[in-house]
Amino acid sequence: MQFSSSLLENAVNEFAKLPGIGKKTALRLVLHLLKLDTGHVNQFSDIIAKMRSEIKFCQRCFNVADGDICSICANSMRKQEMICVVENIRDVIAIESTQQYNGIYHVLGGVISPLDGMGPDQLNIESLLHRIQKEKTEEIIFALNPNIQGDTTIYYIQKKLQPHHCRVTTIARGIAFGGELEYADEMTLARSLQNRLPVESYVSGR
Amino acid sequence: MQFSSSLLENAVNEFAKLPGIGKKTALRLVLHLLKLDTGHVNQFSDIIAKMRSEIKFCQRCFNVADGDICSICANSMRKQEMICVVENIRDVIAIESTQQYNGIYHVLGGVISPLDGMGPDQLNIESLLHRIQKEKTEEIIFALNPNIQGDTTIYYIQKKLQPHHCRVTTIARGIAFGGELEYADEMTLARSLQNRLPVESYVSGR
Protein backbone atom coordinates (compact mmCIF):
# COMPACT_ATOMS: atom_id res chain seq x y z
CA MET A 1 0.00 0.00 0.00
CA GLN A 2 1.34 3.41 -1.00
CA PHE A 3 0.58 6.47 1.13
CA SER A 4 1.13 10.11 0.28
CA SER A 5 1.51 10.98 3.97
CA SER A 6 3.89 9.39 6.44
CA LEU A 7 1.61 10.42 9.35
CA LEU A 8 -1.20 8.38 7.78
CA GLU A 9 1.15 5.50 7.02
CA ASN A 10 2.46 5.34 10.60
CA ALA A 11 -1.05 5.36 12.04
CA VAL A 12 -2.15 2.57 9.67
CA ASN A 13 0.93 0.52 10.58
CA GLU A 14 0.20 0.91 14.32
CA PHE A 15 -3.39 -0.29 13.91
CA ALA A 16 -2.27 -3.16 11.68
CA LYS A 17 -0.12 -4.47 14.55
CA LEU A 18 -3.27 -5.29 16.54
CA PRO A 19 -4.46 -8.92 16.36
CA GLY A 20 -6.98 -9.63 13.59
CA ILE A 21 -6.53 -6.18 12.02
CA GLY A 22 -5.08 -6.22 8.50
CA LYS A 23 -3.81 -3.27 6.49
CA LYS A 24 -7.14 -2.61 4.80
CA THR A 25 -9.11 -2.63 8.05
CA ALA A 26 -6.42 -0.47 9.66
CA LEU A 27 -6.78 2.07 6.86
CA ARG A 28 -10.57 2.09 7.29
CA LEU A 29 -10.20 2.76 11.03
CA VAL A 30 -7.62 5.51 10.51
CA LEU A 31 -9.73 7.23 7.84
CA HIS A 32 -12.65 7.08 10.26
CA LEU A 33 -10.55 8.78 12.95
CA LEU A 34 -9.45 11.35 10.38
CA LYS A 35 -13.11 12.37 9.93
CA LEU A 36 -13.59 12.96 13.68
CA ASP A 37 -12.70 16.16 15.56
CA THR A 38 -9.16 16.42 16.90
CA GLY A 39 -10.69 16.48 20.39
CA HIS A 40 -12.38 13.13 19.94
CA VAL A 41 -9.22 11.52 18.60
CA ASN A 42 -7.16 12.95 21.48
CA GLN A 43 -9.71 11.50 23.90
CA PHE A 44 -9.38 8.09 22.19
CA SER A 45 -5.59 8.15 22.39
CA ASP A 46 -5.54 9.46 25.99
CA ILE A 47 -7.94 6.79 27.25
CA ILE A 48 -5.83 4.02 25.68
CA ALA A 49 -2.56 5.37 27.10
CA LYS A 50 -4.13 5.97 30.54
CA MET A 51 -5.60 2.47 30.59
CA ARG A 52 -2.18 0.91 30.03
CA SER A 53 -0.23 3.08 32.42
CA GLU A 54 -2.73 3.22 35.30
CA ILE A 55 -4.40 -0.17 35.27
CA LYS A 56 -3.41 -2.50 38.09
CA PHE A 57 -3.88 -6.13 38.87
CA CYS A 58 -5.77 -7.08 42.01
CA GLN A 59 -3.25 -8.24 44.63
CA ARG A 60 -5.69 -10.88 45.80
CA CYS A 61 -7.20 -12.44 42.66
CA PHE A 62 -5.07 -10.99 39.78
CA ASN A 63 -8.10 -9.61 37.99
CA VAL A 64 -7.73 -6.14 36.43
CA ALA A 65 -8.39 -3.38 38.95
CA ASP A 66 -8.35 0.38 39.27
CA GLY A 67 -6.67 0.14 42.68
CA ASP A 68 -4.86 -2.50 44.74
CA ILE A 69 -7.99 -4.64 45.11
CA CYS A 70 -10.49 -5.19 42.30
CA SER A 71 -14.12 -4.16 42.62
CA ILE A 72 -15.26 -7.82 42.83
CA CYS A 73 -12.98 -8.66 45.78
CA ALA A 74 -13.87 -5.36 47.47
CA ASN A 75 -17.60 -6.02 47.18
CA SER A 76 -18.74 -7.21 50.61
CA MET A 77 -22.07 -8.38 49.13
CA ARG A 78 -20.26 -11.21 47.34
CA LYS A 79 -19.53 -14.57 48.96
CA GLN A 80 -15.88 -14.33 49.94
CA GLU A 81 -15.81 -18.07 50.78
CA MET A 82 -16.36 -19.18 47.20
CA ILE A 83 -13.43 -18.85 44.74
CA CYS A 84 -13.87 -19.43 41.00
CA VAL A 85 -10.53 -20.31 39.37
CA VAL A 86 -10.28 -19.03 35.76
CA GLU A 87 -7.59 -18.86 33.11
CA ASN A 88 -7.74 -15.15 32.27
CA ILE A 89 -9.56 -11.84 32.62
CA ARG A 90 -11.76 -12.59 29.61
CA ASP A 91 -13.23 -15.57 31.47
CA VAL A 92 -14.04 -13.37 34.48
CA ILE A 93 -15.94 -11.01 32.14
CA ALA A 94 -17.77 -13.95 30.53
CA ILE A 95 -18.88 -15.36 33.91
CA GLU A 96 -19.83 -11.91 35.24
CA SER A 97 -22.01 -11.41 32.16
CA THR A 98 -24.16 -14.39 33.16
CA GLN A 99 -25.05 -12.55 36.43
CA GLN A 100 -25.37 -15.99 38.05
CA TYR A 101 -22.18 -16.08 40.11
CA ASN A 102 -21.91 -14.28 43.42
CA GLY A 103 -18.52 -15.44 44.70
CA ILE A 104 -15.03 -14.13 43.98
CA TYR A 105 -12.31 -15.16 41.51
CA HIS A 106 -8.72 -16.24 41.13
CA VAL A 107 -7.10 -15.57 37.74
CA LEU A 108 -4.36 -18.11 36.98
CA GLY A 109 -2.90 -16.21 34.03
CA GLY A 110 -2.89 -19.31 31.82
CA VAL A 111 -3.05 -23.10 32.11
CA ILE A 112 -0.35 -25.76 32.43
CA SER A 113 0.86 -26.45 28.90
CA PRO A 114 4.41 -27.82 28.60
CA LEU A 115 4.31 -27.50 24.80
CA ASP A 116 3.83 -23.74 25.14
CA GLY A 117 6.45 -23.56 27.90
CA MET A 118 3.82 -22.91 30.59
CA GLY A 119 4.61 -24.73 33.84
CA PRO A 120 2.87 -24.45 37.21
CA ASP A 121 5.49 -21.91 38.41
CA GLN A 122 4.48 -19.35 35.80
CA LEU A 123 0.86 -19.44 36.96
CA ASN A 124 -0.73 -17.83 40.03
CA ILE A 125 -1.07 -21.21 41.79
CA GLU A 126 1.10 -20.55 44.86
CA SER A 127 -0.88 -17.41 45.60
CA LEU A 128 -4.12 -19.42 45.36
CA LEU A 129 -2.80 -21.86 47.99
CA HIS A 130 -1.72 -18.92 50.19
CA ARG A 131 -5.20 -17.42 49.88
CA ILE A 132 -6.85 -20.67 50.95
CA GLN A 133 -4.54 -20.92 53.97
CA LYS A 134 -5.24 -17.36 55.05
CA GLU A 135 -8.87 -16.89 54.04
CA LYS A 136 -11.89 -18.92 55.07
CA THR A 137 -12.68 -20.77 51.84
CA GLU A 138 -15.58 -23.20 51.52
CA GLU A 139 -15.55 -24.00 47.82
CA ILE A 140 -13.17 -23.81 44.89
CA ILE A 141 -14.90 -23.89 41.48
CA PHE A 142 -12.72 -24.60 38.46
CA ALA A 143 -14.02 -22.79 35.36
CA LEU A 144 -11.28 -23.72 32.88
CA ASN A 145 -11.70 -24.51 29.21
CA PRO A 146 -12.55 -28.19 28.73
CA ASN A 147 -9.38 -29.48 27.06
CA ILE A 148 -6.26 -31.43 27.98
CA GLN A 149 -4.45 -28.35 29.35
CA GLY A 150 -7.43 -27.32 31.43
CA ASP A 151 -7.90 -30.81 32.86
CA THR A 152 -4.16 -31.13 33.62
CA THR A 153 -4.29 -27.83 35.50
CA ILE A 154 -7.35 -28.93 37.50
CA TYR A 155 -5.63 -32.23 38.37
CA TYR A 156 -2.41 -30.48 39.46
CA ILE A 157 -4.11 -27.87 41.64
CA GLN A 158 -6.58 -30.37 43.09
CA LYS A 159 -3.65 -32.49 44.35
CA LYS A 160 -2.18 -29.41 46.06
CA LEU A 161 -5.56 -28.59 47.57
CA GLN A 162 -6.03 -31.96 49.28
CA PRO A 163 -4.58 -30.93 52.68
CA HIS A 164 -7.10 -28.06 52.80
CA HIS A 165 -10.58 -29.22 53.57
CA CYS A 166 -12.73 -27.32 51.12
CA ARG A 167 -15.17 -28.45 48.46
CA VAL A 168 -13.59 -28.60 45.00
CA THR A 169 -15.91 -28.53 41.97
CA THR A 170 -15.74 -27.86 38.26
CA ILE A 171 -18.31 -26.30 35.95
CA ALA A 172 -20.48 -28.87 34.17
CA ARG A 173 -19.37 -30.18 30.83
CA GLY A 174 -22.16 -31.33 28.55
CA ILE A 175 -24.19 -30.53 25.48
CA ALA A 176 -24.40 -26.73 25.08
CA PHE A 177 -27.82 -25.14 25.10
CA GLY A 178 -29.00 -25.01 21.47
CA GLY A 179 -26.48 -27.70 20.51
CA GLU A 180 -27.39 -30.92 18.74
CA LEU A 181 -26.70 -34.40 20.11
CA GLU A 182 -25.73 -35.89 16.76
CA TYR A 183 -22.92 -33.35 16.26
CA ALA A 184 -21.51 -33.57 19.80
CA ASP A 185 -18.15 -35.33 20.15
CA GLU A 186 -18.09 -38.70 21.95
CA MET A 187 -16.21 -37.37 24.99
CA THR A 188 -18.74 -34.60 25.65
CA LEU A 189 -21.70 -36.91 25.09
CA ALA A 190 -20.19 -39.63 27.31
CA ARG A 191 -19.52 -37.14 30.11
CA SER A 192 -22.99 -35.64 29.88
CA LEU A 193 -24.44 -39.15 30.26
CA GLN A 194 -22.22 -39.95 33.25
CA ASN A 195 -23.07 -36.67 34.94
CA ARG A 196 -26.77 -36.79 34.18
CA LEU A 197 -29.05 -34.65 36.36
CA PRO A 198 -32.38 -35.44 38.00
CA VAL A 199 -35.01 -33.65 35.94
CA GLU A 200 -36.43 -31.76 38.92
CA SER A 201 -33.06 -30.05 39.60
CA TYR A 202 -32.66 -29.28 35.88
CA VAL A 203 -36.09 -27.65 35.65
CA SER A 204 -35.72 -25.65 38.86
CA GLY A 205 -32.22 -24.57 37.86
CA ARG A 206 -33.39 -22.69 34.79
CA MET B 1 -20.48 -6.82 29.55
CA GLN B 2 -19.35 -6.31 33.15
CA PHE B 3 -15.88 -4.98 33.91
CA SER B 4 -14.10 -4.86 37.23
CA SER B 5 -12.05 -1.84 36.12
CA SER B 6 -13.42 1.43 34.76
CA LEU B 7 -10.11 2.08 32.97
CA LEU B 8 -10.58 -1.16 31.04
CA GLU B 9 -14.24 -0.39 30.40
CA ASN B 10 -13.50 3.09 29.01
CA ALA B 11 -10.82 1.72 26.70
CA VAL B 12 -13.14 -1.00 25.41
CA ASN B 13 -15.91 1.57 24.83
CA GLU B 14 -13.55 3.80 22.85
CA PHE B 15 -12.48 0.94 20.57
CA ALA B 16 -16.09 -0.19 20.16
CA LYS B 17 -16.92 3.24 18.67
CA LEU B 18 -14.75 2.45 15.64
CA PRO B 19 -16.62 1.17 12.57
CA GLY B 20 -16.89 -2.62 12.35
CA ILE B 21 -15.52 -3.15 15.89
CA GLY B 22 -17.99 -4.69 18.34
CA LYS B 23 -17.60 -5.01 22.09
CA LYS B 24 -15.98 -8.45 21.94
CA THR B 25 -13.40 -7.41 19.35
CA ALA B 26 -12.75 -4.22 21.30
CA LEU B 27 -12.08 -6.26 24.42
CA ARG B 28 -9.69 -8.53 22.51
CA LEU B 29 -7.76 -5.50 21.21
CA VAL B 30 -7.60 -3.84 24.64
CA LEU B 31 -6.41 -7.05 26.33
CA HIS B 32 -3.73 -7.30 23.63
CA LEU B 33 -2.57 -3.74 24.41
CA LEU B 34 -2.61 -4.62 28.10
CA LYS B 35 -0.02 -7.33 27.42
CA LEU B 36 2.36 -4.89 25.68
CA ASP B 37 4.88 -2.60 27.44
CA THR B 38 3.62 0.80 28.52
CA GLY B 39 6.12 2.29 26.06
CA HIS B 40 4.59 0.50 23.10
CA VAL B 41 1.08 1.52 24.05
CA ASN B 42 2.14 5.16 24.51
CA GLN B 43 3.71 5.03 21.06
CA PHE B 44 0.45 3.69 19.63
CA SER B 45 -1.60 6.42 21.26
CA ASP B 46 0.87 9.20 20.37
CA ILE B 47 1.01 8.22 16.70
CA ILE B 48 -2.80 8.25 16.46
CA ALA B 49 -3.12 11.64 18.17
CA LYS B 50 -0.26 13.11 16.11
CA MET B 51 -1.78 11.82 12.89
CA ARG B 52 -5.08 13.58 13.57
CA SER B 53 -3.63 16.86 14.78
CA GLU B 54 -0.82 17.27 12.25
CA ILE B 55 -2.16 15.78 9.05
CA LYS B 56 -3.02 18.29 6.33
CA PHE B 57 -4.86 18.17 3.07
CA CYS B 58 -2.99 19.04 -0.13
CA GLN B 59 -4.04 22.55 -1.21
CA ARG B 60 -3.90 21.48 -4.82
CA CYS B 61 -5.52 18.02 -4.97
CA PHE B 62 -7.07 17.56 -1.47
CA ASN B 63 -5.20 14.32 -0.88
CA VAL B 64 -3.77 13.79 2.61
CA ALA B 65 -0.37 15.43 3.00
CA ASP B 66 2.32 16.03 5.58
CA GLY B 67 2.73 19.64 4.39
CA ASP B 68 0.82 22.10 2.17
CA ILE B 69 1.34 20.02 -0.96
CA CYS B 70 1.15 16.21 -1.02
CA SER B 71 4.06 14.05 -2.07
CA ILE B 72 2.33 13.06 -5.31
CA CYS B 73 1.77 16.66 -6.46
CA ALA B 74 5.30 17.59 -5.36
CA ASN B 75 6.88 14.75 -7.34
CA SER B 76 8.29 16.31 -10.52
CA MET B 77 8.71 12.85 -12.07
CA ARG B 78 4.93 12.52 -12.38
CA LYS B 79 2.97 13.84 -15.35
CA GLN B 80 1.48 17.10 -14.07
CA GLU B 81 -0.72 17.37 -17.19
CA MET B 82 -2.81 14.29 -16.34
CA ILE B 83 -5.36 14.57 -13.52
CA CYS B 84 -7.20 11.53 -12.16
CA VAL B 85 -10.46 12.56 -10.45
CA VAL B 86 -11.39 10.27 -7.53
CA GLU B 87 -14.02 10.25 -4.80
CA ASN B 88 -11.79 9.92 -1.74
CA ILE B 89 -8.33 9.22 -0.33
CA ARG B 90 -8.95 5.48 -0.27
CA ASP B 91 -9.28 5.50 -4.06
CA VAL B 92 -5.94 7.32 -4.40
CA ILE B 93 -4.31 4.59 -2.32
CA ALA B 94 -5.99 1.87 -4.41
CA ILE B 95 -4.79 3.39 -7.70
CA GLU B 96 -1.29 4.05 -6.32
CA SER B 97 -1.08 0.40 -5.30
CA THR B 98 -1.44 -0.67 -8.95
CA GLN B 99 1.82 1.24 -9.72
CA GLN B 100 0.38 1.84 -13.19
CA TYR B 101 -0.57 5.51 -12.96
CA ASN B 102 1.99 8.25 -13.27
CA GLY B 103 -0.14 11.40 -13.27
CA ILE B 104 -1.59 13.42 -10.40
CA TYR B 105 -4.96 13.39 -8.64
CA HIS B 106 -7.93 15.48 -7.62
CA VAL B 107 -9.95 14.24 -4.64
CA LEU B 108 -13.60 15.33 -4.87
CA GLY B 109 -14.48 14.40 -1.29
CA GLY B 110 -17.59 12.50 -2.39
CA VAL B 111 -19.95 12.24 -5.34
CA ILE B 112 -23.17 14.05 -6.23
CA SER B 113 -25.93 12.24 -4.35
CA PRO B 114 -29.03 14.34 -3.61
CA LEU B 115 -30.51 11.58 -1.42
CA ASP B 116 -27.49 11.88 0.92
CA GLY B 117 -27.63 15.68 0.77
CA MET B 118 -24.45 15.87 -1.35
CA GLY B 119 -24.69 18.55 -4.02
CA PRO B 120 -21.95 19.80 -6.37
CA ASP B 121 -21.19 22.72 -4.01
CA GLN B 122 -20.05 20.42 -1.23
CA LEU B 123 -17.49 18.75 -3.50
CA ASN B 124 -14.10 20.02 -4.65
CA ILE B 125 -15.40 20.72 -8.18
CA GLU B 126 -14.81 24.49 -8.38
CA SER B 127 -11.20 23.96 -7.35
CA LEU B 128 -10.82 21.38 -10.12
CA LEU B 129 -12.04 23.92 -12.70
CA HIS B 130 -9.64 26.54 -11.26
CA ARG B 131 -6.77 24.07 -11.53
CA ILE B 132 -7.55 23.39 -15.17
CA GLN B 133 -7.67 27.12 -15.92
CA LYS B 134 -4.34 27.78 -14.22
CA GLU B 135 -2.40 24.59 -14.97
CA LYS B 136 -1.62 23.07 -18.33
CA THR B 137 -3.87 19.97 -18.30
CA GLU B 138 -4.01 17.53 -21.17
CA GLU B 139 -6.25 14.81 -19.79
CA ILE B 140 -8.83 14.38 -17.05
CA ILE B 141 -9.44 10.72 -16.08
CA PHE B 142 -12.54 9.97 -14.04
CA ALA B 143 -11.98 7.03 -11.68
CA LEU B 144 -15.30 7.05 -9.84
CA ASN B 145 -17.28 4.04 -8.66
CA PRO B 146 -19.51 2.73 -11.45
CA ASN B 147 -22.95 3.59 -10.09
CA ILE B 148 -25.66 6.20 -10.63
CA GLN B 149 -23.99 8.73 -8.30
CA GLY B 150 -20.61 8.27 -9.97
CA ASP B 151 -22.07 8.62 -13.45
CA THR B 152 -24.09 11.72 -12.44
CA THR B 153 -20.92 13.32 -11.10
CA ILE B 154 -19.00 12.53 -14.28
CA TYR B 155 -21.84 14.00 -16.40
CA TYR B 156 -22.00 17.17 -14.27
CA ILE B 157 -18.26 17.83 -14.28
CA GLN B 158 -17.87 16.93 -17.94
CA LYS B 159 -20.45 19.63 -18.86
CA LYS B 160 -18.42 22.19 -16.89
CA LEU B 161 -15.23 21.05 -18.58
CA GLN B 162 -16.48 21.60 -22.14
CA PRO B 163 -15.04 25.16 -22.55
CA HIS B 164 -11.60 23.79 -21.65
CA HIS B 165 -10.05 21.81 -24.42
CA CYS B 166 -8.64 18.77 -22.70
CA ARG B 167 -9.21 15.08 -23.18
CA VAL B 168 -11.80 13.65 -20.78
CA THR B 169 -11.81 9.89 -20.16
CA THR B 170 -13.12 7.40 -17.62
CA ILE B 171 -11.64 4.13 -16.43
CA ALA B 172 -12.95 1.08 -18.31
CA ARG B 173 -16.02 -0.69 -16.99
CA GLY B 174 -16.20 -4.38 -17.80
CA ILE B 175 -15.91 -7.89 -16.47
CA ALA B 176 -13.40 -7.90 -13.62
CA PHE B 177 -10.31 -10.07 -13.98
CA GLY B 178 -11.17 -13.46 -12.46
CA GLY B 179 -14.90 -12.73 -12.75
CA GLU B 180 -17.39 -14.98 -14.53
CA LEU B 181 -19.54 -13.89 -17.44
CA GLU B 182 -22.63 -15.79 -16.28
CA TYR B 183 -22.71 -13.94 -12.95
CA ALA B 184 -22.08 -10.45 -14.38
CA ASP B 185 -25.06 -8.07 -14.37
CA GLU B 186 -26.60 -7.11 -17.72
CA MET B 187 -25.39 -3.49 -17.59
CA THR B 188 -21.74 -4.45 -17.06
CA LEU B 189 -21.89 -7.14 -19.73
CA ALA B 190 -23.63 -4.82 -22.19
CA ARG B 191 -21.04 -2.08 -21.62
CA SER B 192 -18.15 -4.47 -21.94
CA LEU B 193 -19.56 -5.57 -25.30
CA GLN B 194 -20.03 -1.97 -26.48
CA ASN B 195 -16.52 -0.98 -25.43
CA ARG B 196 -14.82 -4.12 -26.73
CA LEU B 197 -11.10 -3.87 -27.40
CA PRO B 198 -8.99 -5.06 -30.33
CA VAL B 199 -7.19 -8.17 -29.11
CA GLU B 200 -3.73 -6.79 -29.95
CA SER B 201 -4.18 -3.81 -27.58
CA TYR B 202 -5.55 -6.13 -24.89
CA VAL B 203 -2.59 -8.48 -25.13
CA SER B 204 0.02 -5.69 -25.23
CA GLY B 205 -1.70 -3.85 -22.37
CA ARG B 206 -1.09 -6.65 -19.91
Return the residue in A24, A45, A66 with the most chain B beta carbons within 10 A, the one to mutate for interface testing.
A45
Does the interface ipTM go beyond 0.90?
no
Rounded Cα–Cα distance for residues B187 and B47 (Å):
45
At A84, phi and psi to the nearest 5? -100, 120
Task: Determine contact, residues B57/B65, Cβ cutoff 8 Å.
Answer: yes
Residue B205 lies in a domain: no
> How far away is chain A from the Cα of B151, in angstroms, using its nearest Cα?
25
Name the percent of chain B lying above pLDDT 90: 65
Buried b / exposed e across B123-134, counting CB within 10 Å, b at 16+? bbbebbeebbee
Rounded Cα–Cα distance for residues B84 and B78 (Å):
12
Residue B46 lies in a domain: yes
Record: contact B1-A25, CB cut-off 8 A: no
> How far away is chain B from the Cα of A134, in angstroms, using its nearest Cα?
23
Structural domain count of chain A: 2
CATH number of the domain residue B125 falls in: 3.40.1360.10
Record: contact B36-A14, CB cut-off 8 A: no
Co-location of B111 and B149 in the same domain: yes
SS3 assignment, position B84: strand
Rounded Cα–Cα distance for residues A107 and A112 (Å):
13
Residue B91 lies in a domain: yes
Range of the domain at A111: 76-171
Task: Determine contact, residues B137/B103, Cβ cutoff 8 Å.
Answer: no
Rg (CA), chain B: 22
DSSP states of chain A as a string?
---S-HHHHHHHHHHHTSTT--HHHHHHHHHHHHHS-HHHHHHHHHHHHHHHHH-EE-TTT--EESSSS-HHHH-TTS-TTEEEEESSHHHHHHHHHHT---SEEEE-SS--BGGGTB-GGGTTTHHHHHHHHHS---EEEE---SSHHHHHHHHHHHHHHTTS--EEEEPPPSPPTT--GGGS-HHHHHHHHHT---HHHHHHH-
Residue B90 lies in a domain: yes
Co-location of A83 and A167 in the same domain: yes
What is the enclosing helix (H) or strand (E) of B94?
Answer: helix B89-98
Co-location of B36 and B117 in the same domain: no
Task: Determine the residue of chain B that is closest to A47 in CA distance.
Answer: B11
Co-location of A83 and A166 in the same domain: yes
Co-location of B86 and B118 in the same domain: yes
Per-residue confidence (pLDDT) for residue B85, from 0 to 100: 95
Return the residue in A25, A46, A52, A105 with the most chain B beta carbons within 10 A, the one to mutate for interface testing.
A52
Return the residue in B5, B35, B40 with the most chain A beta carbons within 10 A, the one to mutate for interface testing.
B5
Co-location of B46 and B114 in the same domain: no
Co-location of A110 and A43 in the same domain: no
Residue B81 lies in a domain: yes
In one-letter notation, the amino acid at residue A22 is G
Task: Determine the residue of chain B that is closest to A49 in CA distance.
Answer: B42
Q: A–B: how many Cβ contacts below 8 A?
A: 170
Q: Biggest alpha carbon distance in chain A?
A: 68
**pTM, to two decimals:** 0.77
Task: Determine the residue of chain A that is closest to B21 in CA distance.
Answer: A29
Q: Which residues contact B93 (CB under 8 A, 6 or more apart)?
A: A1, A2, A3, A27
User: Strand pairing of B64-65 and B56-57?
Assistant: antiparallel
Residues B160-192 have pLDDT tens digits of 988 888 899 988 888 887 878 888 888 888 888
Co-location of A92 and A133 in the same domain: yes
Per-residue confidence (pLDDT) for residue A194, from 0 to 100: 82
Digit-by-digit pLDDT tens for chain A (206 residues) are 778 888 999 999 999 999 999 999 999 999 999 989 999 999 999 999 999 999 999 999 999 998 899 999 999 999 999 999 999 998 999 898 888 899 999 999 999 999 999 999 999 999 999 999 998 899 999 999 888 899 999 999 999 988 888 899 988 888 888 878 888 888 888 888 888 877 776 666 55
Residue B181 lies in a domain: no
Per-residue confidence (pLDDT) for residue A187, from 0 to 100: 81
Residue A29 lies in a domain: yes
Of A5, A43, A97, the CB nearest to B1: A97
Co-location of B120 and B157 in the same domain: yes
Record: contact A27-B90, CB cut-off 8 A: yes
Residues B35-56 have pLDDT tens digits of 899 999 999 999 999 999 999 9
Task: Determine the residue of chain A that is closest to B109 in CA distance.
Answer: A35
In one-letter notation, the amino acid at residue B78 is R
Record: contact A6-B66, CB cut-off 8 A: yes
Co-location of B90 and B49 in the same domain: no
> How far away is chain B from the Cα of A205, in angstroms, using its nearest Cα?
23
Rounded Cα–Cα distance for residues A158 and B18 (Å):
44
